[in-house]
Amino acid sequence: MTVALYTHADMLDHRPGANHTERPERLTAVIDALSDASDLDLEPRDAPLVDPSDLARVHMPMYVQAIFDAAPRQGMLMLDEDTYMSPGSLNAARRAAGSVVQAVRDVAAGQQQRAFCAVRPPGHHAEPHRPMGFCIFSNIAVAARVAQSCGLKRVAVVDFDVHHGNGTQAAFAGHEDLFFASVQQWPMWPGTGHPDEAVPANIRNAVVPPGAPAEEWRKAFESLMPHVDAFAPDLILISAGFDAHAYDPVGDAFQNLEAPDFDWATRAIASVARKHSQGRIVSSLEGGYGLEALGRSALAHVRALSDA
């Protein structure tokens, strides 16, 4: 099937520093890998700038205004020890959130069934009141709220980044019409997401130890799927982080995944989407920092979206 691809060149202008891990080349690696795949039926779509009113569905209005006001016209602004803004960062962050927001609006309108949002900066660490871990706005959580405003009332997010999506969890916690399922390495920054952590019933976390074989990761991921199935979502969103790849420099080879593992996980999600969500899936790029591994993994993910 056709997969709508949402992205924008403005996201290359987010430049958090020459030696920063979250660099523009990440986006180029993903787009190049997808463009080179002649077997994919992709429908390119430009990512709009997200409206502040949509950001305010998740983020505190004072936080949104503070980010807009603080955006530098020159030089660099440090938001936290990992998160920086350059002159192009505000537009990039608005395009990143706008990608996922527009994708869910288009899916809700019946224009397409599947979408992949090739975005940066990522979003799943940004909490309602603060940036964190390279993330400025909570792209996927904002999109979930927009989807609900479009009539897709029950929205699930599945997150397979090597790091826990603490921002999405913070935005979803206690909201019975939202569900968050996440698999991550433990121990690992940001130190949240262990199954023993006290969380509301609409949050489900699974963990994998450092150095675990791919089979153990698959088992942990698979343990989440019955809970997503039981939630019976109208739409599934994916926080697609590929930094659990064996050759990712941030994951430091603590996980041993390869591109076929992301294909497998995507197909498991699609199985639930076909059952409950009329096949509707919108995926958004999160982590993944080894360029070659990132490109291969994203390609495997999008291929699975297109034919699962």
The neighbouring-strand residues paired with 77 are 85
CA distance 303 to 308: 8
Q: Which of 14, 125, 163, 276 is catalytic?
A: 125
Annotated active-site residue 125? The verdict is: yes
Give the number of residues written for the chain: 308
Which residues does 80 contact at the CB level (< 8 Å), separation at least 6?
Answer: 130, 131, 132, 133
The DSSP call for residue 47 is P
Are 253 and 273 in contact, with CB atoms under 8 Å apart?
Answer: no
| φ/ψ of residue 76, rounded to 5 | -135, 140
Q: What is the C-alpha separation between 167 and 301, in angstroms, rounded?
A: 23
216 with 208: CB under 8 angstroms?
yes
Residues carrying an active site annotation: 125
